[in-house]
Chain A
Amino acid sequence: MLQIDIAGESLTLLAERALWWPAQSTLLIADAHFGKGLTFRARGVAVPSGTSDDTMDRLAALLERTGAARVVFLGDLLHAREARQPALMATLAGLRAPGVEWVLVRGNHDVHAGVPAELGLTVVDEPWLMAPFALCHHPDARPGHYVLAGHVHPALRVEAGGDRLRLPCFVFGPDVGLLPAFGSFTGHMSLEPAAGVRCFVAAADRVLEVPHASARRRGRA
């Protein structure tokens, strides 16, 4: 857990790869990709089950711990149409306590997968405005708001003292912030940190800020 101030609001970065906004009792989760393994299996690629359970368990634990009144999924909640399998949908729906609002900002995968009504989600197109933030799936700048988005699955290569690791990360630029992908079965894209951008890696049970002089040595001309 790590507190930072973004756009005048205090946000908590969670090592579970989610973002907690205490003032609004809101939990932000990007790119859960539920049912991805299932999609692979249905199309003839033998990926074992359990990845969605894993993601589900972490979501349940987070809901319990934060007692969030609102959850906003920043897109790509389901991986594909095949993910809409009744048992999975029932488990997911079961996580929603009465009175808790669940919002899905539609992502590119949700467009193809569709969102079953039984999940009781409020489905919106980006941007979902909660001043001072614009909650989006795609990280496009929205003048007048600070954008919090997913889609990229950011990761950072950290290299120092003869050691090197690639870790999912939070990234906060001047007007756009990226959340790491929440799903257990998701790939990552390595980013090059740039000046004026803060990066926080999620390493097991901790969140750590990585100074941007960090990572890869190349890039220094």
Chain B
Amino acid sequence: MSGRIGRRTVAALDSLSAVLNAHAPLMSGSDDSPGDLPSIPPNDASDEPTRADIRRIVASSSLGRQLRAARAKKLREQAEPVPARPTRRARRAAGALPDVAALQARIDGLYAERGWRVFDFQRTVWAHLQQGRSGLLHAGTGSGKTLAVWLGALLRAAAQPAPGLRVLWITPMRALAADTALTLGESARVFGLDWDVGLRTGDTGSAERARQTKALPQALVTTPESLTLMLSHDAAREQLGGLCAVVVDEWHELIANKRGVQAQLALARLRQWNPALPVWGLSATLGNPDHAMQVLCGPGGARVAGEIVRPVKLDSLIPARTERFPWAGHLGVKLLDAVLTELDASPSTLLFTNTRSQAELWYQALLAARPDWAGLIALHHGSLSRDVREWVEAGLKNGTLRAVVCTSSLDLGVDFLPVERVLQLGSPKGVARLMQRAGRSGHAPGRTPHATCVPGHGLELIDSAAARRAVAAGRIEPRYSPEAPVDVLVQHLVTLALAGGFDADALKSEIRTTHAYRALDDRTWDWAMDFVTRGGASLAAYPDYRKVERDADGRHRVPRADIARRHRMQIGTITADSAVEVRWARGGKSGGKSGGKSRGKSAGQNGGQSVPASGAAALAGGRLGQVEEPFIGRLKPGDCFLFAGRVLELVAVRDMQALVRAGNAARGTVPRWDGGRMPLSNELAHEIRTLIALAARGDYPEPEMQALRPLLDLQRGWSALPDSGDLLIEVMQSREGHHAFFFPFAGRPVHAGLATLLAGRISRNRPITFSLSFNDYGFELMSAAPVDWSQEIADGLLSGDTLDADIEHCLNAAQLARRRFREVARVAGLTFQGYPGQGKSARQLQVSSDLLFDVFSRHDPDNLLLQQARQEAQREELDAERIAGTLASMRAARHCITRPPSMTPFAFPLLVARLRERLSSEQLSDRVARMVALLEKAAGP
């Protein structure tokens, strides 16, 4: 390191590294570091931050700040000593609420006294809640949604006094739960209510859970998974039966996924116990708020719109010179200098990326460019450990961090008042997402949210122009609830069988009250019941199967404790990809701290073959975070990768832990997480198509399009710019093979489907293997043999006939369903994540979903879980409806087949970001023989 770095910087670096290396002792000499860096919880078994930590973290959230000021003022005015808070038990016993009129008076009085305005939508929500009506409140961030619903719930609780748990607050993000609990507790106290607001998430320690089992707080903040877990216990009804209101926060994050379905099912159970239970959803702006309300509240719900419309400024960082082939520039880090200039101009900036790997890259790049910012910039993504994330969030709230590189992990949550600016690195990919992210900035009085898109490559400039136009036109993506997923259903059946058992008919009616399962047919229901009781519909197929059994009293229960235990562990993993913990390697002489200097023997090498690293001598040390198992699976011991803002070398993998030590910076590779592959939304794709059509006619309406003229001119010169009625097809040959690029501009999922479909249709008639690649703008089909595309089109390549069958055929062939089956199998309890210290018996149940997919396809092809995987692939990977639509417009379009002299600007990204799906009609052994022949040839004599 250079000697120019001051002592303060070194101290800050030390503190940062101590945070990242959370379980290492704090370094001495950091006593002159900025005083507001939080100390790190000691290395004890529980990861719980102390109450004081949480308090400090929340202390500077916008609501928290207002409330604190209010309370301080009140105290000053009264000049009375602060009364000691009664003990928890005393408060619970008291459960004291004034009557509803008194509370309403108190609220009105306090609002008047502070000079706060009560918004009409807040009054509306209060009134609805007092009448016991459910509803959805949707508004942008920072508009007072939380307080509206929380005070409404308190008013309702005051109107119906009762002991025990009264208000349940469901939040999608575990990381937000602690903040939310404190904020709710604080704001209740402002109104003179000494409510105990508890926390129940996957992070809640067993001691706290045990305390809650004895006496629940009056309000509980939880996640859908933890709520479902509570429902799996006998005591659930006793604990949750006395609720007077349920709030589902950030409902837009849940509605469209299986966690949302899990929430729907849990709510159905709560309503079963208490039919009048009002449920309120909070949601950001959505394209279809009525559907969102229906799904959550059922018939008779109210939809309330927050009235504050905040202006948002959206623009792009346009490079001084738009290169025509900027593709080789890695992930837009090329614009680093321009980004640094922007960061200099703003005291606090959030830099959003679409993937965690991009976040790691940008963080490294920023730090390399400005070493003096060490300790002032930070990294935040979902794979990092909680300590790190909390430290970053605290730094954002108190304004000590000038920039944070983050992923969707910071899309949600309490507002960071000091953040003035948002930079979106790479395409925003969606209208709602860009609005949400922009909304994270400009919360200070007199400020406006301001988001700037930083294109990762030239074409992404079109994306940001298109996003701005869509926002202006109010075209925001809708989100729909999944329809009757069988995997969630069977999981729920086992969950309720654990909770004292269930009566099949009663449960069927209960489940049909949810939106997702409103049309659940008897066949599916019977199948699901068969699945959990007998393994499947066919008695012969599943001999000796045991999971749920029908008791003599007719109730369905889980007879075995090990099955119960595994199921409860499973509930929390509904969405998580199997994750591997990243930990420092300890033991031997190669400790984490001294890593890089003393290298232990490379583990697990035997005769040139890597065999399971059973002999690895390293012990697990401090935790750094989590990465998906497939990523670690691609690494060998000794490989280096970027994670948590540093270069790490893999030492060994075992028991779902990746042991690492400090690596050599020169050898770092960037992790490629699959999770971050966001598709372009339809709304945005539509705008992009429009902008390109305008360019084809010589109209460049936005500054981004102006800047892109050189690129667009080159595209026009070598090939063409498609007008709205055109389908552009580029055909060319390279050393790799024969390429055909199609550009329907319909978004990635549709292109994936179309590519698969067209490849399937051609390969049905003759043996040919295609490599497919697709992105948001188009797709590529590459083959070893040439294809006469005009002839194929004339012969019906784009035909709408037999489309359904073809899609089905191609699905099987391309194995998209196999990929969906991973999640389906996990949710349905067929595969489960290993966990450290698992016993032998659990290890004997480890199986890959791939293998299960083969076994089911062969031995139980009618299994509904397989069907569900196929349907999900159709709907979510392929989007069959939109494929049909796009295919029809491709058919009707003027076919513009060009033979460019070289890769065009449109084609190049497809080449660079190739993701291959193989579709082949050749015999497996022929394929292998051909590959072997090629390899022999390449290897030479």
Binding site for B on A (CB under 8 A): 37-51, 54, 79-80, 82, 85, 109, 112, 139-141, 152, 154, 158-165, 167, 171, 173-176, 178, 184-187, 189, 191-192, 194-197, 201, 203-206, 208-211, 213-214, 218-219
Contact = CB atoms under 8 A, between A and B. Distances in A.
A158 B931 CA distance: 8
Contacts of A189: 612
B936 interface: yes
A181 B567 CA distance: 30
Contact of B928 (A41, A174, A203): A203
B676 interface: no
A173 B918 CA distance: 31
B610 interface: yes
Interface string B559-584: 01011001100000000000000000
A187 B607 contact: no
A219 B610 CA distance: 13
B544 A46 contact: no
Contacts of A186: 851
16 contacts: A38-B544, A44-B563, A46-B830, A48-B859, A49-B541, A50-B855, A50-B858, A51-B859, A139-B611, A160-B930, A162-B769, A191-B610, A192-B609, A194-B609, A203-B928, A213-B935
Contacts of A171: 609
Given A48-B541, A139-B611, A204 B784 contact: no
Contact of B929 (A44, A139, A164, A206): A206
B46 interface: no
Given A46-B830, A49-B542, A178 B536 contact: no
B932 A209 contact: yes
A165 B531 CA distance: 33
Nearest to A111: B840
B609 A173 contact: yes
Given A163-B931, A164-B918, A44 B546 contact: yes
A210 to B, nearest CB: 6
Interface string B813-856: 00000000000000001100000000011001111100110011
A192 B610 contact: yes
Given A38-B544, A43-B563, A49-B541, 9 more contacts: A40-B847, A41-B543, A44-B545, A47-B852, A50-B855, A141-B606, A163-B918, A209-B932, A219-B636
B458 interface: no
A203 B736 CA distance: 25
A204 B923 contact: yes
B535 A204 contact: no
B934 A160 contact: yes
B543 A38 contact: yes
A158 B939 CA distance: 14
A6 B763 CA distance: 41
Contacts of B916: 162, 164
Point out which of B544, B845, B858 has the most chain A C-beta atoms below 10 A from its C-beta. Answer: B544
Contact of B609 (A51, A80, A160, A191): A191
A178 to B, nearest CB: 7
A46 B535 contact: yes
Contacts, number: 186
A51 B610 contact: no
A186 B784 CA distance: 34
B542 A48 contact: yes
A39 B562 CA distance: 14
A201 B927 CA distance: 12
B938 interface: yes
Nearest to B857: A48
Contacts of B62: none
Contacts of B536: 46, 48
Nearest to B633: A190
Given A39-B844, A47-B852, A164-B916, A175 B607 contact: yes
B859 to A, nearest CB: 4
A46 B928 contact: no
Contacts of B847: 40, 47, 185, 187
B859 A42 contact: no
A167 B928 contact: yes
Q: Return the 7 tightest CB-CB contacts between A and B, nearest first.
A: A194-B608, A50-B859, A160-B931, A48-B860, A44-B563, A46-B535, A44-B547
A211 B542 contact: no
Contacts of A46: 531, 535-536, 542, 545, 547, 830
Contact of A161 (B560, B609, B636, B931): B931
Interface string B898-937: 0000000000000000001010100111011111101110
Contacts of B566: 44
Contacts of B830: 45-47
Contacts of A43: 546, 562-563, 841, 845
Given A47-B852, A176-B606, A160 B924 contact: no
Given A204-B925, A205-B925, A112 B840 contact: yes
Given A43-B563, A139-B606, A186-B851, A165 B928 contact: yes
Interface in B465-518: none
Contacts of A160: 930-932, 934-935, 938
Most buried by A among B566, B610, B846: B610
Nearest to A214: B935
A158 B924 CA distance: 12
A212 B796 CA distance: 43
Given A41-B546, A208-B929, A210-B932, A152 B541 contact: no
B540 interface: yes
Nearest to B825: A45
Nearest to A43: B845
A50 to B, nearest CB: 4
A58 B659 CA distance: 40
A48 B607 contact: no
Contacts of B918: 163-164
B285 interface: no
A38 B607 CA distance: 35
B782 interface: yes
A82 B769 CA distance: 44
A42 B545 contact: yes
B925 A206 contact: yes
B607 A174 contact: yes
Contacts of B769: 162-163
A41 B608 contact: no
A139 B929 CA distance: 29
Contacts of B542: 41, 46-49
A12 B44 CA distance: 57
Contacts of A163: 769, 771, 918, 920, 927, 930-931
Contacts of B851: 185-187
B529 to A, nearest CB: 12
Nearest to A167: B928
A187 B848 contact: yes
Contacts of B930: 160-161, 163
A109 B852 CA distance: 20
A43 B858 CA distance: 22
B560 A44 contact: yes
Given A45-B830, A164-B916, A201-B928, A211 B544 contact: no
A41 B769 CA distance: 39
B737 interface: yes
Most chain-A CB neighbours within 10 Å: which of B611, B931, B932?
B931
B733 interface: no
B535 A162 contact: no
**B606, B736, B929 pick with most chain A CB within 10 angstroms:** B606
Contacts of A219: 636
Contacts of A175: 607
A207 to B, nearest CB: 9
A105 B860 CA distance: 33
